[in-house]
Amino acid sequence: MSGLGGLNRLSRLATVVRAGLRSNFGLAILKHRLFKEKKDRWLVPVFALAGLGVLPTLYGIVLLIKGAYAILAPMGQERALLTLGVLAGQLLILLFGIYYVISAFYFSRDLEFLIPLPLRPSEVMISKFAVIMINEYLTVAAIVLPVVVTYGVMAKGGIGYWVNAVLVYLALPVIPLALVSLLVVAMMRFINVSRKKDILILVGSIVLIVLALALQIGLGRTAGPQPSAQAVTAFFTSPDSLLNRVGSKFPPSIWATKAVAAGFSSEGPANLALLLGVSLAFFAGIVVMAEKLFYRGLIGLSETTGKKRRLTRDEMSRRVSSGRRAVAAVFGREWKIMNRTPIFLLNGVLVVVIVPVIFVLLANMGSGRGGSGGGGDLSAILKTMTSANPLFAILAAALFMTVCGSLNGTSSSTFSREGAQFWISRVIPVAPREQAAAKFLHSYLVAMLGVVTATVVAAIVLHLKAVHLAAAAGLALVAGVLLTVVGMIIDLARPLLNWTNPQKAIKQNFNVLLATLADIGILTAVFFGAKALIKAKLATTVVLGVVFLALAAAAALSFGILLRFADKRYPEIES
C-alpha cells in the first residue's frame, strides 16, 4: 500500500508540474493562437531570423573559447575553462533565481487553486521548484553549453564526457536554487506577519541580492598579497591549479568540472556522486522546510491594509478632482502599478542598477588585498583600450549606458503588466495616445536611471573625461528613446494580459525577448553604420554628430508611429 501511495503522490506531482509548465510557457495559448486562430504565425519567421542573427555572436564566443583552450592546454590548465563556465552559470542562477523563487512561491495566482487541493505543502513547493529549474536550464544554456561543447570537441571527449556533461547540466541549478529557496522561505515566514509586507519583501529581496553580489566579490578576489615570479611559475606548472583557485570559493563548480572532464575514469564518477549527493541533500532540505514553513509564509500575503481615516469634504474634493493633466494622471497610475508589486520593481527598476554593479565586480576581478588598488585585470585592459582611442571610448561607453538603461524589459512589458485590469485603460476618458505617452515617460525614466548609474560606473572604472562621458550619455539617452518606443510597440501589438504570475508578465514574456532581439538588431545596425563612418576617415565630431542625428530622427519617427498605433490598437485589445 505504501508503494501504491508513493506512486499516487508521484502521479499528482507530475500532473501539477505539467500544469505549471503549460501555464509558465503559455503552451496551450500559443498552440491555439498559432494553429487555430493563426494570429501569431508571423512569430515563426521572426524567431527563425533571430536564431540566424545569433549565430555570428555564438561563433565569436566559440572562437574565444577555442583560443583560451589553446593557451591553457599546454600548461595543463584547460579544465579551468569548464570551471569558469559552470561557476558563471551557478552564480547567475544564484543572483537572478531570487526573482523567480519569490514570484513563483508567493505571488503566483495559481496558488489559490493549488492550496485547497489534496496536496502536501512540499508537493506544491516542489512543483514550483521544478518549473523554476526548467526556466534556469534555458537561462544558463547560453553561458554553459558553449563552454562544455567546445571543450568536449577540443579535448576529444569520449562517451563518458558527454554522459557526465548531461548529468551535471541537469544537476547544475539544484544547489544555488535550493540555497535561494531556503533563504526566501525562511525570510517570508517572518515577513507575512507585518503590515508592511510589500516593503519588507522588497527590502529582504535586496538584502539577498546584496549577499549574492558579496559572494561574487569574494569569488573574484584573491586571498593574499601579490605572488613572486617563482610562485607564479609553480602555480601554472601545477596541473589543475587554476581550476582549484577559481572554484575554491564554491566547491560544487570543482566537482562538476572534474565529473565532466574525467568522464568514466575513477575521478569522474566520484565527483559526480559527490555533486549529486550534495544536490539531493539540499533538495531534501527544501522538502523539510516546505512542510514546516511554506504555508505559514503564504498566510496573509493577499491581505491589504489601510489607514482607515475619514476624509473631510475639502480633502475628498481635492482627491476626486485633482486637476492633473491626463498624461500626468496615467503616469502616476503606471508608477503605482510598477511600485506596488515587488516582482515588477525588482525585475524592472532594480535591474538597471544591478547590471552596472555587476560590471564593477567583473572589472575588479583579480584585484586582491595586496594589489595596487587600481582595479582588476579587466579594468586595466578597458582603461588601456579607451585611453588610446577617444572615439572608441565614447561609443563603447554609450553602448554600455544604453544596455544598462534600455535592455531591462520595462518598456516591452508596459501594457502586459496591467494584466486583467487593462479594461480600465480602455474605458477611462483618456485618449490612447495620451496613455501611451504617459507609459513612455515612465519607461524612459527607468532607462534614464540606468544611464545615470552606468555613467557613474564608467567614470569610476574607466576614468573617462567629462566631455567624453557627456557625449556618451547623450548618445545613450537618444538611443534610449528609440529602444523604449520599439519595446512598447512590440508589447502593444500582442500584450500578455492573462498571466497568473507577475513574473510571467515581465520575465517570461515573449514580447521582452522579441524587444531584446530588436534592440540587438538596432544596436548592430548602429555599430556597422559607425564603423563605415570611421572607415571613411571622418572626424570624431562628425561621426558622433551623424550617429546622434540618425538616432534622433529614428526616435522621433518611431514615437509618432507609437502614438498612431495606440489609437488603432487600444479598441482591439480584449482583457
Each residue of 514-537: pLDDT tens digit? 888 888 888 888 988 998 999 998
Closest listed residue to residue 502, CA positions, set 354, 371, 343: 343
pLDDT digits (tens, 9 = 90+) for 388-431: 678 888 998 899 899 888 878 889 989 988 888 888 888 888 88
Higher-confidence position of 305 and 205 = 205
Whether the CB-CB separation of 205 and 342 falls below 8 Å is answered with yes
Supply the mean pLDDT for the chain.
Answer: 78
Is the pLDDT at 280 greater than 90, yes or no?
A: yes
- Rounded mean pLDDT, 200-210: 62
DSSP letter, residue 293:
I
Question: Residue 79 has what pLDDT?
Answer: 83
Q: Give the list of residues 6+ apart from residue 520 with CB closer than 8 angstroms, or none.
A: 53
Specify the DSSP element, H or E, that contains 50.
helix 43-72
The average pLDDT across 137-142 equals: 86
Q: Over 90: is that where the pLDDT of 273 sits?
A: yes
pLDDT at 42 over 70: no
61 CB neighbour count, 10 Å cutoff = 15
C-alpha cell at 222: 584573491
Residue 8 makes CB contacts below 8 A (sequence gap 6+) with none
Percent of the chain at pLDDT exceeding 70: 72
Greater pLDDT, 100 or 301: 100
The residue written with cell numbers 565527483 in the block is 271
CA-only gyration radius of the chain, Å: 26
Which range among 185-194, 212-221, 270-279 has the greatest average pLDDT? 270-279
Residue 449: closest CA among 478, 477, 412: 477
Q: Per residue in 368-394, pLDDT tens?
A: 444 444 454 455 555 665 566 788 889
In the structure, what pLDDT confidence band is assigned to residue 487 with cuts at 50, 70 and 90? very high
Average pLDDT over residues 184-190: 77
For the ranges 103-112, 286-295, 354-363, 371-380, the one whose mean pLDDT is highest: 286-295
62, 479, 550 from 553: Cα distances, Å = 37, 10, 5
How far apart, in whole angstroms, are the C-alpha atoms of residue 454 and residue 356?
A: 6
* Cell (9 digits) for 441: 515617460
Q: Which three cell numbers stand for residue 320?
A: 476626486
DSSP 8-state assignment for residue 431: -
Query: Contact at 8 Å (CB) between 511 and 496?
Result: yes
Q: How far apart are CA 301 and CA 318, in angstroms?
A: 32
The predicted pLDDT at position 365 comes to 53
Would the pLDDT of 475 be above 90?
A: yes
Q: How many CB atoms lie within 10 A of CB 29?
A: 15
Residue 16: pLDDT above 50?
A: yes
The pLDDT-based confidence of 165 (bands split at 50, 70, 90) is: very high
Question: Residues 243-260: what's their mean pLDDT?
Answer: 77
CB atoms inside a 10 Å sphere around CB 156: 7
- Predicted confidence band of residue 247 (pLDDT cuts 50, 70, 90): low
Burial bucket for residue 332 (CB in 10 Å: 0-12, 13-18, 19+):
middle
In angstroms, the CA 394 to CA 405 distance is 16
Give the residue carrying C-alpha cell 535586496: 206
From 383, 394, 398, 397, select the one nearest 539 (Cα to Cα).
394
Q: Who has greater pLDDT, 549 or 239? A: 549
Mean pLDDT of 219-228: 49
Do 444 and 559 touch, CB atoms closer than 8 A? Answer: no
Helices 432-462 and 377-388, packing angle to 10 deg: 100
Beta carbons within 10 angstroms of residue 40's beta carbon: 16
Split at pLDDT 50, 70, 90, the class of 148 is very high
CA distance 92 to 381: 24
Segment holding 13, helix H or strand E: helix 2-25
When pLDDT is cut at 50, 70 and 90, the band that residue 149 belongs to is very high
Mean pLDDT throughout 545-570?
A: 94
| Amino acid letter for position 378 | L
Answer for the pair 570, 425: CB distance below 8 angstroms, yes or no.
yes
Q: Is the pLDDT of residue 290 over 80?
A: yes
Higher-pLDDT residue of 547 and 143 is: 547
Identify the residue with better confidence: 162 or 116.
Answer: 162
Q: What is d(CA 453, CA 379) in angstroms, rounded to the nearest whole number?
A: 17
Whole-number Å distance between alpha carbons of 519 and 514: 9
